[in-house]
Structure 1
Amino acid sequence: MKVVIVGAGPSGLVACKTLLEYASADFPFDPIVLEQEADIGGTFRFRTYENATLVSSKQLTTFSDFRLPLDHPDHLTLEEYVSYLRAYCKHFGITDRIRLESKVVNVARNPDGGHVVSYVTRAPAGEWDSTPRTINATHVALCTGLHVIPAIPDVPGIEHVLNRGNHREPGAVPPAAYHSTEYKSRAQLAGRRVMILGTGETGMDLAYEAAKAGATEVVLCSRSGFLSFPKALNDFEIFGYKFDSKKSSVPIDSLITNLAETAYVHPWVASIHLRWFVSDFVLKRVLWFLTGTQAGCNQWVGELEPERLGRAYVFLNKSHKAMPYINRPYKSRPAILEYMSRYIDPPEDMPPHTDFTVDLAPFPTHFLPNGRAVFPLSKRKDAVRMQKRDVRPDLVIYATGYRQEFSFLDKTGGYATPGEADVRNVVKDGDESVAFIGFVRPGVGAIPPISEMQTFFWISLLKGQVKKPLPPPHYHLLVKDTARIKYGVDHSAYMSTLAKDVGAAPGLWELWREHGTHVLVCYSFGAAFTTFYRLTGPYRSPTAAHTTKTELWDTVTRRGLLGNFIMGLVPMVFYLAVNAIVLCLELVLTLGGVLRV
């Protein structure tokens, strides 16, 4: 069973390794990875920049059976993560299955069954060969990723910014406009008047880098706001007691508990997304108490409209470093409340070290012939403030994300796109020979572990081992019809759903019987780590129990007794009670003949 995997980023690598691991006499998977670049790593290797780090923790991002040392920092630099991927390939012996500088140019249906994959290789001179090579494949896994082709919106008058270079002073740096993929180091920002379009995690990173680089002005433009949170829960002070990041940092993506929030959730409760809305309600009040604002964690401007403020609607922005610079014109809190509780900004980013401000603004509608940005009128705090400002950038960076194209899929072959993959966002119903791995984005979480679970699901689907009919998908983030991104999922709900589909979600009695109390408690209080779904079931791993008792247990103990009580035990008891009540209601309605079994 020849499987062609397109792309050697994390998704392609874990797909290759997993297919090899679970090949059998009846399903002799024979994967080959085609990668157009000269190295593995995908976005993490070729669309990175100076000082970039992962905002998802190593505990969540690393694959289930290849872990990093316990004493390694929680968040890796991108260089460290690519090194991790290389070590992963070497450890599992898949390096020889990766063909670098091999660009797929066409995937077509084979009249005899399967697919014909055509690709070209790069010649020594650097050009692509004109004559394609072909592979007859039974299956194709598309792992090209969400972040490949830059999305650049049209901003009328941007040429006026560039034309101002004709009038610059001798020796001045010429104006420029480019996508964030072209940004590599702080040297590109020093002395510039910088405008950044987009307040995703890359845009926030660039705003901070510009402030640190010595830019003369930084304007960060947001379409409709964002939800800001630090990647680790730390740097709070309550009645003088400090929760120091250097001593008790807890990755934010490891805080959601499993039991009754992800595992053992009644379908009726899951369908109304009760957990999302209740946790949002509580979290907003906690944030107000701790930081004085419920728009985000210590976020005083750029708030989302009320109907979109919550984890059910948006991707959490965990690049938090620029917030001290953004908050300065807006932060206002009574001294008595600040004494009771406060968020502590990093000393190196606060006066007297620096009083620099990053100006938040709406997206400009256009640029005037003199290069001045025109912002739309609205009641947003940043919009009101920026109406009084004369902003004439000499550098515009589009941190506006990416788009996906699949021009290499033969148009006569009836191939689906990721948005049409209606079976758990992995395959199109009736065309299970083509899989889309890594094409969902979690609101809080990471794509690589999702790709691992998606590969497990695909293998089970091909082997006929998926439990059918599939329950409804209650894991998609809620979006408007006009939303630009519609592939968002709740990380824990999606992972748990896939695990249940393939029979990998462990039962509490089963866990206790096979692995004891330690593993059972860790599973109940821990987040939806892929390792948990390898403790039992068809993808059982011999290392899963040890990883659970050590590294994953560490994420629980680092919360402390108070943290586990507030963020673990209290919501667990509440949701267990809710699910028990709903279960009893279902039984009563069934016994009364109102519902049919």
Structure 2
Amino acid sequence: MKVVVVGAGPSGLVTAKSLLENADADFPFDPIILEQEHDIGGTFRYRTYENASLVSSKQLTSFSDFRLPLSHPDHLTTEAYVDYLRDYIDHFNLSDKIHLNTRVINVKRHTEGGHIVSYVSKDAKDSEWSSEVTTIHTPYIAICTGLHVLPWIPSIPGIEHVVAVNNHIENPVFHSYEYKKRAQLQGKRVMILGTGETGTDIAYEAAKAGAKEVVLCSRAGFLSFPKQLNDFEVFGYKSDKGPGIPLDSLITNLAESAYVHPWVEGSHIRWFISDFVIKRLIWVLTGTQAGCNQWVGELEPERLGRAYVFLNKSQKAMPYINRPYRNRLKFFDYIARYIDPPEDSPPQTDFAVDLAPFPTHFLPNGRAVFAPSKRKDYIRMKDRDVRPELVIYATGYKQEFGFLDKTSGYPTPDEANIRNVVKEGDESVGFIGFVRPGVGAIPPIAEMQSFFWISLLKGKVRQPMPPPRYHLLVKETARIKYGVDHSTYMSTLAKDIGAAPGLWELWKEYGTHVLVCYCFGAAFTTFYRLVGPYKSASAPGIIRSELWDTILRRGFMGNLIMGVIPMIFYLSLNIIAFGLGIAWTMLGGRVE
């Protein structure tokens, strides 16, 4: 039963591995990975740049049964992550399943069922694709080409003037996927369009490279948080013991994603309450609730919080961005403060990255024009003569699937209405890795999606499935609608496939240590391999060591504030909802 997997990034690799491990007599899966590049790794290999590192922790990002040692740094460089993927391939003997330099050019439906996949190849030394087309007839196809492949470049009137004025510079306007080294930014007036993690990363790199000017343009603001919490100071006492706490390991399981009443889950009240508390907490610690020590670029109030946006965990540029705006009495800094990441001897101690709105257009002389508003960054920049020599679109990516035959009626990820993995009635086509968490990582989500897809193909997903309640809350007009809450999405998939453990079940089989770790830990994929169809013998050991370490790092006060108190509060909400649900059922209603 040949299964074609398109793409050899982390999603494609874990899907192939999951198919191999869960093949049986009825479903003898035999995956083959087709990758058009000459190496594995996808975005982490081909759309990365100098000094880039993951903003998700190794604890969350690593696959459930192939881990990195405790001694390894929490956040990997992109090079180190690709090495991790190579080790994953070797460990699970996937090499023979991977075909590099192989481009899928067409996928169409077979008249007798299944799909015909057509592809071309080239030798590693060749630059041209072979004219010889090879085909495979497959019952199933997993599309794992990734969210970040085709650049999305919005139209800005007059951008051609920037090119004309700066014709002495090679490539004065380009997308961030073409950015590779600091040397590209040195000595130039740089404008970066987009305040996602890539945009703020490049702003920092420009400051470090000795750019003459750096203007970072934000369309509607961003929400900044550090990827690792270790730089707080309270009454002069600095929390510098140990390696810090990865941000994505803080959200606990019990009553947050596990054992949540449908009414509580459907109302998203957990998200709203945690947003409310976090805003007040960071105000006490940093003096602003726009983000963690974020003094400009704030989101509008109705979009400020975990329920709405992807957190920007690239914190390195914040000292440069904050510099013109930070205004807090030293008295309050003594009580509590967050210390921005060290600037590491910047080329100019007074250098600032200027935040600005998106330009509406460029004048013939190359000057940027900004739309009037009440934003702090506009007020500061409105009279500035901003004429960039280099404009970099850090505007993200779009999804297109030109290889899917238009006459065959294939769905797109946006149309995958069953857990964002398949379209109802078209389960033989799986989209793996096409959601993005607000806080979290795509690779572990892809692993859970691969489990879900396999269970769906085998007819072993619980029915009926509850409605999806894991999507981030966005406007109908939003361009990106594939955002999810990481822990809610993971636990939903786990419940669907029978991999979400019960507390009594955990205690009986594994004891108190694993039970407590499950309750206090984040939604690590390893937790969903303790029971159910994807049970792994290595899971208990990983939980008792590596994942237990993430809980110990919080310390007593951290576990009290971020664990015990939220659990008690959310459990109380669930108990109230449970009681009301019983009463409603007795009156003839239904709890959904």
**TM superposition score category, shorter chain reference:** over 0.9
- 2:109 maps to what in 1? 109
- 1:422 maps to what in 2? 417
The correspondence of residues 5-154 of structure 1 with structure 2, limited to 5 A, is 5-123=5-123, 124-154=125-155
The correspondence of residues 121-270 of structure 1 with structure 2, limited to 5 A, is 121-123=121-123, 124-165=125-166, 173=169, 176-244=172-240, 247-270=242-265
The Cα shift of 1:348 comes to 3.2
- Aligned partners of 1:587 and 1:529: how far apart in 2? 32
The Cα shift of 1:247 comes to 2.2
Count of aligned pairs between the two proteins: 591
Asked if the contact 1:271/1:474 (under 8 Å) is kept, the reply is yes
- 2:352 maps to what in 1? 357
The correspondence of residues 430-445 of structure 1 with structure 2, limited to 5 A, is 430-445=425-440
- What secondary structure does 1:134 align onto? strand
Cα offsets for 1:103-156 (capped at 9, x unmatched): 000000011210000001024431011221101111000000000001111111
- Aligned partners of 2:243 and 2:26: how far apart in 1? 50
- Aligned partners of 1:273 and 1:443: how far apart in 2? 14
Tell me which stretches of 4 or more aligned residues in structure 1 moved more than 4 Å. Answer: 349-353, 594-597
Cα offsets for 1:192-236 (capped at 9, x unmatched): 100000000000000000000000100000000000000011211
- Aligned partners of 1:110 and 1:353: how far apart in 2? 63
Amino acid at match of 1:413: S
Q: TM-score, normalising length from structure 2?
A: 0.98
- What secondary structure does 1:247 align onto? coil
The Cα shift of 1:586 comes to 1.0
- What secondary structure does 1:290 align onto? helix
Asked if the contact 2:265/2:469 (under 8 Å) is kept, the reply is yes
Asked if the contact 1:58/1:75 (under 8 Å) is kept, the reply is yes
Cα offsets for 1:254-305 (capped at 9, x unmatched): 0000000010100000000011000000000001000000000000000000
- What secondary structure does 2:314 align onto? coil
Amino acid at match of 2:557: L
- Aligned partners of 1:318 and 1:342: how far apart in 2? 18
RMSD (CA atoms): 1.3
The Cα shift of 1:455 comes to 0.5
Cα offsets for 1:498-527 (capped at 9, x unmatched): 000000000000000000000000000000
- Aligned partners of 1:197 and 1:489: how far apart in 2? 24
- 2:509 maps to what in 1? 514
Q: TM-score, normalising length from structure 1?
A: 0.97
- Aligned partners of 2:486 and 2:64: how far apart in 1? 16
Amino acid at match of 2:566: P
- What secondary structure does 2:280 align onto? helix
- What secondary structure does 2:571 align onto? helix
- Aligned partners of 2:470 and 2:341: how far apart in 1? 36
Q: 1:565 to 1:391 in 2, by over 3 A?
A: same
- Aligned partners of 1:463 and 1:386: how far apart in 2? 59
Q: Is 1:451 paired with 2:441? A: no
- Aligned partners of 1:109 and 1:592: how far apart in 2? 50
Asked if the contact 2:581/2:591 (under 8 Å) is kept, the reply is no
Amino acid at match of 2:305: G
Amino acid at match of 2:295: W
Instruction: Point out where structure 1 has 5 or more consecutive residues left out of the alignment.
Output: none
- Aligned partners of 2:501 and 2:227: how far apart in 1? 29
The Cα shift of 1:347 comes to 4.0
Asked if the contact 2:307/2:472 (under 8 Å) is kept, the reply is yes
- What secondary structure does 1:194 align onto? strand
Cα offsets for 1:413-438 (capped at 9, x unmatched): 11100000000000010111000000
The Cα shift of 1:591 comes to 2.8
- 1:304 maps to what in 2? 299
- Aligned partners of 2:447 and 2:300: how far apart in 1? 35
- Aligned partners of 1:495 and 1:80: how far apart in 2? 25
- 1:502 maps to what in 2? 497
- What secondary structure does 2:242 align onto? helix
Among 547, 569, 573, the alignment partner of 2:568 is 573
- Aligned partners of 1:370 and 1:30: how far apart in 2? 59
- What secondary structure does 2:16 align onto? helix
- Aligned partners of 1:121 and 1:248: how far apart in 2? 46
Q: 1:596 to 1:279 in 2, by over 3 A?
A: closer
- Aligned partners of 1:81 and 1:309: how far apart in 2? 31
Q: 1:383 to 1:350 in 2, by over 3 A?
A: farther
- Aligned partners of 2:346 and 2:336: how far apart in 1? 20
- Aligned partners of 2:576 and 2:345: how far apart in 1? 50
**Identity, % of aligned pairs?**
72
Q: 1:346 to 1:457 in 2, by over 3 A?
A: closer
Amino acid at match of 2:357: P
Cα offsets for 1:177-206 (capped at 9, x unmatched): 101111111111110100000000000000
- Aligned partners of 2:188 and 2:242: how far apart in 1? 37
The Cα shift of 1:74 comes to 0.2
Instruction: Point out where structure 2 has 5 or more consecutive residues left out of the alignment.
Output: none
- What secondary structure does 2:343 align onto? helix
